[in-house]
Structure 1
Amino acid sequence: MTASRNVLTEQASALYSLGRIDEAKALLAKQLTASPEDFRGWTELGRCHYRLDDHEQALMAAAAALSLEPGYVDALIVRAYALRRLARIDECLATAQEAVRIAPQLWQTHAARAEALNAWQPRWPEVLEAAQEAVRLAPEETGAHYALWKAATLNGRSDLTDLAVREMLRIDPNDSFALDRRTEKELATPGMRNGRRAEVYASALAADPASDRMRAGLDGAVFQMLRGTRWLAVLSLLLAGVAVDLFPSEDDIRELPLPLGTRVYVLLLIGLLWAFGAWRRYRKMRAGVRLSVRSLLRRMFWARLVLVQAVLGTLCAVIIVAVPWTARDAPQVVFWAGLAPTLLTIWFDRPRTR
């Protein structure tokens, strides 16, 4: 029976490590109903409650474990973190210090002490010392480097925060927290273009597909890129308007219709404008960004509207140039039909670019 109980607790611990917290809780509930004396099971249940932000329940589970096995270090660590979230700071520090006293060789106890000490700004240097001790004891644990990142952030040590992120990614290239930090730093580069921004988000999302934050960032960058295509349409219309001389001065009125060679030349310029402004850029994008463009067009009305307006504006420019007009009234109507709605929506959809 004891072996069976241990197996259930180990299975729950494995599920917890995989992020399947609800399944782990269900298994532990079954285990603890049959064997309420399983202090390890209570500790694992406390960890599950903590991950689900149920800190009162986490504290109760840790207390149950400690009542069965006083001084059990893992339960003390769970208790310390739960007390910290409940703002019971003095109890939290006392619990963490007791864990360090019992097991000074474990990095987790020093990380718990660092967490407890960060409530007092004058003691932030001690937070850094505790986190550095955790890293010294376990240089191959991402959790130890996370503790260092947090302590370094409190102390304004950007060199150590960068080091912690690099080490986390060395140990686990798919660590979502470290990927987020690296992505944030890269996105903070001044003057970054939307195409590059989209590629940075796509790289982070490829490593952490479940990140809603990275998905939202990629959608925003892709939408900004789509907005840019409307300016290509506006430029195409202006180019067509100048070529046909839609609004001539009284002293210099170009004769209509334009020669065929001139019209073909202007159409070629419009095609080159789009080739270098949109098509070439789109073809050079990584596959993840191209897929995001298609996905956003399916999911977002404003993205589809942007594309429709870009196509409509460009089509109006092509009609203005391609048709051998003999008078300017009709092409002027086409010009404003393409330009006015596009400029209005460029102004109107600004709030949707956030």
Structure 2
Amino acid sequence: MTTHPALERAEALIELKRYDEAAAMLGGRLAEDPDDVRAWVKLGRCQVAAGQVEEALTTLGEALRRAPEDIGALYIYAFALRRADHLERAERWRKAEEALRQALRVDPRNSSVHALLGEFLMYNPTRRVEALALAKEAVRLDPESVDAYQALWRTAGAAGETETYTWALRQVLRLDPTDNQALYLVSSQEAHKPGTTAAQAAEVYADALAAAPDNAGLRHDLDRATYRLLRGVRWLALICVAAAGVMVDLFPEDGEAARDLPVPLGNRLWVLVVMAAVWGFGAWRRYCGLRSGVQLNVRSLVRRGRWARVVLAQAAWAMLCALLISQVPWTERSVPRILFWAGLLPTLATVWFDRRKTP
């Protein structure tokens, strides 16, 4: 059957998301031939994509009045009902199921209809087993359909079938590596596995963002993982404060003579070596081992995130106190003790407080 040129041009405009132009072209075609069911269906699809759900239902009603068994019209009519907030939920669920059941009577082997019906039924807790069976049938009928696997992971998640849920998500990414929702869910699973470090989680999210750079959820989670990385540098600074306090012997044990002050230059230089090693292995080497996407996000987050800057400022303050304690040739311990507590307490006071702060 030959497709009218106006319908082909309208289809191209819909793919380009130029819905107003597509609707105008389809309106012209329907003015020529009001019984062109394909034009009514495409116009309904265009209106659904543009968010004009009420208009779409009216348009698709016209298509079904002319061709009550048209699969495309029945499918998009049910899909539009999914977004029809102006109708009672029970009513739109009932109408959608009726339309999809009718479509299955016409074409029992239609994978897309099985998948959409399964997604409708999963919202009813008493019908989730049936919904999962429909989604599995959709996958059996078309093993290369992204829509079928999307329906399967959603219905499996609703039914508590964890293994099926995880497998279906992986299949979605096999067929469409840029699928936003599947990327977000799979990345979250990987990043929240027991034992996963902040650096590993950040790399998981960075890899996913490379495939879906506009995914706001992945961007937010990458920022949180990067923030966890930055929070860790404060512990390095606190280790340096502790090392400086030990070198100066700020708190001698009872009954033991305190170390003579000032501390010899060689000891002061040696503690610098220890501090450099702490930062070299604990921060710099670790930073250089991160993937470039995570490194870029570290710098970006420091510019954008208030709490990220607070964390780095606290680490810098603690390091300043550590250097003053260890490198100034103190002749008595009162000032170094003040510096020790000044470097230690403000940081420790916020270590647990800012765990859930937005970076």
Q: TM-score, normalised by structure 2?
A: 0.87
Residue type at the aligned position of 1:79: Y
| Aligned position for 1:20 | none
Please give the root-mean-square deviation of Cα atoms over the aligned residues, in Å.
2.4
| Aligned position for 2:266 | 261
**Structure 1 residues not aligned, in runs of 5+:** 16-22
| Aligned position for 2:68 | 70
1:150-190 per-residue CA deviation (whole Å, 9 max, x = no partner) reads: 22223322222222122222222222222222112213312
Correspondences of 1:146-295 after superposition (within 5 Å): 146-248=150-252, 251=255, 252-295=257-300
Match of 1:93 among 97, 106, 113: 97
Which SS does the other structure have where 1:35 is aligned? Answer: helix
Residue type at the aligned position of 1:125: V
Q: CA deviation at 1:280?
A: 1.2
Cα distance in 1, alignment partners of residues 41 and 103 from structure 2: 14
Match of 1:302 among 282, 302, 307: 307
Aligned-pair identity (%): 43
Confirm or deny that 1:320 pairs with 2:309.
no
Cα distance in 2, alignment partners of residues 98 and 186 from structure 1: 41
1:57-92 per-residue CA deviation (whole Å, 9 max, x = no partner) reads: 442332233345433211211111233444222222
| Aligned position for 2:13 | 12
Confirm or deny that 1:34 pairs with 2:28.
yes
1:290-349 per-residue CA deviation (whole Å, 9 max, x = no partner) reads: 111011011112211211221221122122212222222333343344334323443543
Cα distance in 2, alignment partners of residues 332 and 58 from structure 1: 74
**Structure 2 residues not aligned, in runs of 5+:** none
Match of 1:103 among 101, 107, 113: 107
**Shift in CA distance, 336/9, structure 1 to aligned 2, threshold 3 Å:** same
The answer on whether the counterparts of 2:191 and 2:200 sit within 8 Å (CA) in structure 1 is no
Cα distance in 1, alignment partners of residues 124 and 318 from structure 2: 60
- After superposing on structure 2, the runs of 4+ consecutive aligned residues of structure 1 that deviate more than 6 Å are none
Cα distance in 2, alignment partners of residues 85 and 49 from structure 1: 12
**Shift in CA distance, 326/45, structure 1 to aligned 2, threshold 3 Å:** farther
Cα distance in 2, alignment partners of residues 221 and 306 from structure 1: 14
Cα distance in 2, alignment partners of residues 233 and 275 from structure 1: 12
Cα distance in 2, alignment partners of residues 91 and 269 from structure 1: 73
Residue type at the aligned position of 1:7: E
Confirm or deny that 1:61 pairs with 2:59.
yes
The answer on whether the counterparts of 1:100 and 1:113 sit within 8 Å (CA) in structure 2 is no
